Amino acid sequence: MVEWKQNQTTAQVSLVNLEGGQAVNRVLRLSTALAVVIFSAGCSAPTLAPLPTVTQSPAPTVAPMTSAEAKAAYKLIAQASCDAAQALGVVESSEDYTVVSVNKEEGYKDYSAAYLEKPETYKLIWELTSITSCADWFSFSMAEEAGKEAEIDVTFDAADSTFTTFEDFGEFGTSNFKYTVANGKLATSENLDPKNPIVTAIKYGNLTDADLNILKTAVDQFLAAD
């Protein structure tokens, strides 16, 4: 913060024990002197004060995390994300598809999740493990119920505050994602598989009519074909 200070000198003239013309003459002489000073000051080049030097505050730094610390932090984020998705509903959208999941109370004909594969393929989602905002939390919670450690490797990048996860499913392949976080929840996910490089944006709550229409269309098509 730059602080400006200005010093000002005040001249005060006291007229004491002056009578009649003496007081008038004293005032006139004082007025004439002040006029000369003001006129002289007006003819002088103004003195410009130097511009203040602004010091930019350093960007806040983020502390690095060990693998264990990153995993513990990511577990809490995964739980908060899935809790929000189940309570508020969630929309997960990418260039090729849009996933919509609502809470059970707002389901349509007892169905609560579906996706649109653009341009016009609508399908139901049967398990919340299939949506990004809940997949990893279910891995953590199911491992915890079994008394095991979730087999998810997690690293944290302090440079951009992102988390990267890796899972090995053996013959079923691997899973490798990079996540950004906002308000303690997953905000975006990036599939690091070079054969399937998808970036997904995650929005909690405030589902639009267009979002809900994906669920309704998927359900209606499923029931019509049944």
Residue 32 lies in a domain: no
Host domain of residue 89 = 67-225
**What pLDDT sits at residue 35?**
40
> Three-state SS across the chain?
CCCCCCCCCCCCCCCCCCCHHHHHHHHHHHHHHHHHHHHHHHHCCCCCCCCCCCCCCCCCCCCCCCHHHHHHHHHHHHHHHHHHHHHHCEEEECCCEEEEECCHHHCECCECEEEEECCCEEEECCCHHHCHHHHHHHHHHHHHHCCCCCCCEEEEECCCCEEEEEEECHHHCEEEEEEEEECCEEEEEEECCCCCCCEEEEEECCCCHHHHHHHHHHHHHHHHHC
Residue 125 lies in a domain: yes
Q: Is 180 exposed, middle or buried (0-12, 13-18, 19+ CB in 10 A)?
A: middle
Q: How far apart are CA 183 and CA 156, in angstroms?
A: 17
Residue 201 lies in a domain: yes
Query: What digits encode the pLDDT tens for the residues 111-168?
Result: 999 999 999 999 999 999 999 999 999 999 999 999 999 999 999 999 999 999 999 9
Question: Does 3 have pLDDT greater than 50?
Answer: no
Residue 48 lies in a domain: no
Residue 26 lies in a domain: no
**What pLDDT sits at residue 56?**
58
Domain count of the chain?
1
Mean pLDDT of the chain: 81
Share of the chain above pLDDT 90, in %: 69
Query: What digits encode the pLDDT tens for the residues 44-81?
Result: 445 555 655 655 555 556 789 999 999 999 999 999 99
Q: Indicate the pairing of strand 153-157 with strand 113-117.
A: unpaired
Which amino acid type is present at position 60? P
**What pLDDT sits at residue 2?**
35
- CB crowding 116-126: b at 16 or more within 10 Å, else e: beeeeebbebe
- What average pLDDT does this structure show over 188-204? 95
**What pLDDT sits at residue 13?**
32
**Res. 41 pLDDT band, cuts 50 70 90:** very low
Share of the chain above pLDDT 70, in %: 73
How many CA atoms are closer than 13 Å to the CA of 160, on its beta-carbon side?
7
**What pLDDT sits at residue 49?**
57
Q: What is the CA radius of gyration of the chain?
A: 36
Query: What digits encode the pLDDT tens for the residues 66-76?
Result: 999 999 999 99
Residue 14 lies in a domain: no
Residue 219 lies in a domain: yes
- What average pLDDT does this structure show over 29-58? 48
Tell me, rounded to whole angstroms, the distance of Cα 122 from its chain centroid. 31
**Res. 23 pLDDT band, cuts 50 70 90:** very low
Q: How far apart are CA 66 and CA 156, in angstroms?
A: 8
Structure-token match 């070079």, residue found: 194
Q: How far apart are CA 150 and CA 67, in angstroms?
A: 13
Residue 185 lies in a domain: yes
